[in-house]
Each structure stands twice: as structure tokens, then as C-alpha cells.
Homo-oligomer: A and B are copies of this chain.
């Protein structure tokens, strides 16, 4: 309910320049630092060479360290490098063939917890392999997605990892396939991460997690505890993610010889507010279920609120499970039983596959990885009460 009223307290303050003028700063910050205050262009190899009174080749060799150089010359060069604060120009180096291929990461929005986790994994594994990591966001806009992907390709990314490119739009899929092909032709590679492969013909590596299996496991858990009427809270269609979870739900029911009851599918979105509203409406006439399987932890959070408002205790009256093992899962009271998704590892794996670092790797052609999920048992489930509440 209460959409937060907002009270402005302090306002934006484009601050004045620092109060006191920078003091002369008695000791130089770094002994060897010269006073190069002018905003100038970076030092070049040639300048270093001149300063050290050697040829450019020698400087290069000293820096590369893969060739014998007289100790005395080396010292001189090194000092000049220090003195001039020389740093090699990456572009020139790349041009010469010594490129450090970049790993490009394209994602909808970093504020999404799952996305952020994958991104963290990607970045870690990328730098672990000496690659730097370029990032671009799309806000879920398919057109922007293509633009960004192309930009990444142009930037010479050695691999492009796409998170959440699961748009159903067939046109977009074709474009994506074209980009993937183009990338492949340039010796790079497209990796789809965290979403099932959209098209079997797309020349892309796919890294996904056992979405359906996780749903199956957590619903089975409820069934084993004795629950027979389990609400599915979330969209039955639309996102492939939700569809997969529904599939797992249904398979679990089938394994227990229980019929699938469409009236136990509530629908709605993946978010908290929607879940809360939908469930609250569903609860007006009392509850005809003993457990709720929410498609996401956020939805579960909403469900918890709705249940509580309806006077139902969790897990005493109704059991509740979520999906994703988000931070909020442990913030809830009771702490939420949920399905853990190895997002960070997903990102790591994506990079490994993209770089061809997988042991026992298959052909250089398309590959695929499926990471396991597992149930995290917390406090939101219990056997169903003797008598149905409500």
C-alpha cells in the first residue's frame, strides 16, 4: 500500500571548488614524480628513448624484459621511464598484435541482483585470465542490445557475453544470430548466459542453469512434506524462465501422481508488488492450498506479506518457497526456503567457455554448459496443518 511519500531534506549542491588552495605540499607525493601539471598527452616511447639516450628498440626490450640488455643501460632506461611516468599505449601495442583481448559483457541492468552476480563472476574470471572487461547495458531494449553488441564487436572484443538476451522477438533473434556469426567470423564468440538458447541454429555458446530441475526439486520437497495443493505464484507463460519453473512444478506433481490444477496457477509478474496483490486477491475467499511456490524470491517476499495480512502464519498455516536465493531470502522472517542458482559461477563459466579454457573441451564450435541448482532449506516450510486453514 503506502507508496512512500518523499520528503526532500537536503538538496543538490554543486559544491564550490575546494576551500583552501592546495598547499605547496612540502614533500612531493612520490620522490621521482616530476611536476608535469599541464594536461598533456601521455609520454611516448620515443621520448623515453631520447631521455635515456638510447634507441626506441632498447627501451622496448627493457620493458618487455625478454631480451638481454646491459645492466647499466637498463638502469638508465628504467629511470627515464619512472621520471617521465611512461605507460605503453595499449592501442599501438594491440595494433602490433600484442592485444589483450577484451571480454565484453552486455546486460540489461546492473541493479538486478542476479545480473550483478553474473557480472561479478564474469569480471573475476576475465581479469583472472588477464582480460579486461568491457561492459554495456541495454535496459532490456532489443534494439539497444544490438547496437551495444555491435559496438562491442567493433571494439575488438575477444568474446562477448550476453546476459538475458531472451527476447522472444524472432526478428531480434535473427539479428542476434547474424551478430553471432559476424563475431565468429572475426575470431570472437558470443556467449548467451543465464537464458536457454533461443535458437538452435545460432552459432553461440550457451551457459545456463538447471532451471526446471530446481523447480522440480523444491516442489518435490513440499510434496514429500505432505503438501497436496501447492499454489504456483507467477506468470505461467511469457518468460522462458517462468515457463521452465512451471514445467518443473508440473513434473513434480506428475511424479506424485497428482493432477495439474490450472486453478492453482495465480499468474502475475516476477516482482514483489504484483505477487502480493495477486495473492491477496486470491485470499479473499480463504485459502484452498497449503503451500506456495513463488517463481522468484521477490515474489515470495510479496507472498509473505499477503499471507501475513490475511492472518496466515508461515510456515505453520502455509508453507512458502521461492527461487533464486536472493539476499532478501534471508532477510525475510521466516527465512525463505528457496532454490540456489549459481549466478557467479555462471558468469565464470561463460568466460571460460568464451576463452576456450575448458578442460576436455569439445570442438571449437558451439558448446553448452548446464550448471546445477540446489534447494536451500530454511524456515519457511513445514508439513501442512491437519485441517486446512481459512
Contacts and interface: CB of A to CB of B under 8 A. Distances in A.
A69 interface: no
Contacts of A99: 91
Contacts of A263: none
Interface stretch (A5-13, A48-56, A232-240, A287-295): A5-13
Interface stretch (A70-78, A147-155, A382-390): A147-155
A340 interface: yes
Interface string A181-195: 110111100000000
Interface stretch (A159-167, A253-261, A278-286, A365-373): A365-373
Nearest to A375: B7
B13 A372 contact: yes
A244 interface: no
Given A9-B214, A186-B42, A14 B358 contact: yes
Interface in A116-140: 116-117, 119-120, 123-124, 127, 132-137
Contacts of A174: 29-30
B374 A9 contact: yes
A23 interface: yes
A247 interface: no
Copies in the assembly, this chain: 2
A88 B154 contact: yes
B366 A17 contact: yes
Contacts of A364: 39
A25 interface: yes
Q: Which among A15, A110, A123 has the greatest number of chain B C-beta atoms within 10 A?
A: A110
A217 interface: yes
Interface string A259-278: 00000000000001000000
A6 B91 contact: no
A212 B11 CA distance: 13
Given A123-B110, A333-B308, A363 B178 contact: no
A149 B66 CA distance: 25
7 contacts: A6-B377, A7-B376, A10-B374, A14-B360, A29-B174, A42-B156, A272-B330
